[in-house]
């Protein structure tokens, strides 16, 4: 289960496998010649994952999901906060220490076409992480063969280039490259969004089975609640850089508590069930370019009151393992 998200004044070693602590990322944006404003992409996000758990991070485009993923891997530097992985704050590591710990982490990217070097063969793409870590040739050959079997790719594909593969096959190569170092943490950033619908189910089932069979911890980024429900045990719902609701996938999707979560759930089609009443939101989400005093969902919320515009709601545990940031839940 996810621990309580109380304010932490220290960055002591975490007892969770992966813990994100008050993470913030503000991107500067030039306004005119002498003025700078900021996009508050991630604004005080906290959550934790135990070994073997799978957490789905969901929300609309621009909510900050992919930025959280990049911060968790330290592909970009945060404005503030901490990322504890296996008890160590990776944001305080030097380059050598970070290089070693990244062998325990892997990322599956959103667009397999742009993630794969078009000048490299499948063999070179998959074995590159092993070469960089100094593995012997015979070990590399054995590991590549094993990981291709895991992702259901024929060994005859080893000498093919990315342009000779379908979208689903490219993503399988990306998954194979992510798994080649036997990572303990896998971050999947919308791994099916660039694929045809007919291929998406195959890749999702592959990811789900690999997580179960290899006992890795998964952080799964998606805008599709139906996908997250199929793959993950836990769900965190993000909006404009903040987490609105967090809990088990089963309970959260069955009975959403936050108005934003209810709106997202009402848009998920469910076959063989009665038509659900849609929760329609006002306007469109905007990038957060100012530090708002109240709830960031205030302008679109159907139950908002004056208090919502004046005071930001705290993330509180309303039920065991269920957290919501709303004044009226």
Q: Which residues of 200-224 are buried (b: 16+ CB within 10 A; e: fewer)?
A: beebbebbbebbeeeebbbbbbbbb
Number of H helices, E strands in the chain: 11, 12
Q: Are strands 234-239 and 35-49 parallel, antiparallel or unpaired?
A: unpaired
Q: Which of 107, 127, 71, 128 is nearest to 186 (CA)?
A: 107
Distance CA 29, CA 35 (A): 9
- Kindly state whether residue 5 falls inside one of the protein's structural domains: no
**What pLDDT shows up at residue 1?**
47
177 CA to centre of own chain: 18
Long-range contacts of 310-316 (CB under 8 A, 24+ apart): 315/5, 315/46, 315/243, 315/246
Would you say 226 and 268 are in contact if contact means Cβ atoms under 8 Å apart?
yes
Structural domain contains residue 175: yes
Angle of the 137-150 helix axis to the 167-179 helix axis, nearest 10: 130
pLDDT at 134: 79
In the sheet that 80-85 helps form, which strands lie side by side, from edge to edge?
A: 35-49, 18-31, 80-85, 88-89
Q: What is the pLDDT of residue 224?
A: 85
- CATH code assigned at 225: 3.40.50.300
Q: Residue 70 is inside which H or E element, if any?
A: helix 65-72
Q: What is the pLDDT along the chain (329 residues), one digit of tens a residue?
A: 444 444 333 333 446 899 999 999 999 888 777 788 888 999 999 999 999 999 999 998 889 999 999 999 999 999 999 999 999 999 999 999 998 898 899 999 888 888 899 999 999 999 998 888 778 888 899 999 999 999 999 999 999 999 999 989 999 999 999 999 899 999 999 888 878 887 888 888 888 888 888 889 999 999 888 888 889 999 999 999 999 999 999 899 889 999 999 988 887 776 655 656 777 777 666 556 666 778 989 888 888 899 998 899 999 999 888 999 999 88
Task: Give residue 274's pLDDT.
Answer: 60
Six token digits for residue 148: 């291709």
23 pairs with which residues across the strands? 45
**Would residue 29 count as lying in a domain?**
yes
Question: Angle at which helices 137-150 and 122-132 pack, to 10 degrees?
Answer: 130
Strands 185-189 and 105-108, by their bridges, are: parallel
pTM equals 0.88
Q: Cα–Cα distance between 196 and 290 in angstroms, integer? A: 37
Rounded CA separation 287/213 (Å): 39
**From the CB of residue 131, how many other CB atoms can be counted at a distance below 10 Å?**
11
Has residue 329 been placed in a domain?
no
Distance from C-alpha of 141 to C-alpha of 169, rounded to nearest angstrom:
20
Query: Directed axis angle between helix 167-179 and helix 122-132, to 10°?
Result: 20
Query: Whose structure tokens read 């999947």?
Result: 188
Q: Exposure string (b/e) for 234-256, b if CB count within 10 Å is 16 or more?
A: bbbbbbbbbbbbbbbbebbbeeb
CB 124 within 8 A of CB 140: no
Q: Could you list the residue range(s) of the whole structural domain that residue 141 is in?
A: 18-324
Q: How many domains does the chain have?
A: 1
């Amino acid at each position: 289960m996810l621990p309580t998200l109380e304010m932490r004044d220290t960055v002591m070693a975490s007892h969770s496998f992966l813990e994100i602590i008050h993470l913030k990322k503000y991107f500067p944006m030039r306004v005119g010649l002498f003025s700078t404003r900021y996009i508050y992409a991630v604004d005080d996000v906290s959550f934790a994952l135990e070994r073997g758990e799978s957490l789905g991070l969901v929300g609309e485009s621009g909510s900050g999901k992919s930025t959280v993923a990049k911060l968790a891997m330290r592909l970009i530097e945060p404005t503030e906060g901490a990322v504890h992985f296996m008890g160590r704050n990776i944001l305080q590591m030097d380059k050598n220490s970070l290089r070693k710990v990244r062998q325990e982490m892997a990322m599956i990217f959103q667009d397999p076409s742009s993630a794969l070097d078009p000048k490299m063969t499948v063999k070179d793409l998959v074995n590159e992480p092993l070469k960089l870590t100094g593995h012997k040739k015979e070990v590399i050959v054995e590991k590549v063969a094993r990981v291709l079997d895991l992702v259901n790719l024929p060994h005859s594909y080893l000498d093919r280039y990315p342009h000779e593969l379908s979208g689903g096959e490219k993503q399988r190569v990306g998954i194979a490259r992510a798994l080649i170092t036997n990572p303990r943490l896998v971050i999947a950033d919308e791994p099916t969004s660039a694929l045809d619908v007919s291929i998406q189910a195959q890749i999702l089932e592959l990811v789900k089975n690999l997580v179960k069979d290899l006992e890795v911890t998964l952080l799964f980024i998606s805008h599709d609640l139906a996908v997250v429900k199929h793959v993950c045990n836990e769900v965190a719902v993000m909006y404009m850089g903040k987490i609105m609701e967090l809990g088990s996938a089963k309970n959260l999707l069955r009975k959403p508590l936050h108005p934003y979560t209810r709106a997202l759930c009402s848009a998920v089609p469910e076959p063989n069930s009665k038509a659900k009443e849609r929760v329609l939101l006002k306007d469109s989400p905007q990038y957060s370019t100012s530090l708002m005093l109240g709830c960031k969902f205030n302008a679109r919320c159907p139950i908002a009151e004056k208090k919502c515009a004046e005071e930001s709601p705290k993330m509180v545990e309303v039920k065991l393992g269920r957290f919501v940031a709303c004044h009226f839940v």
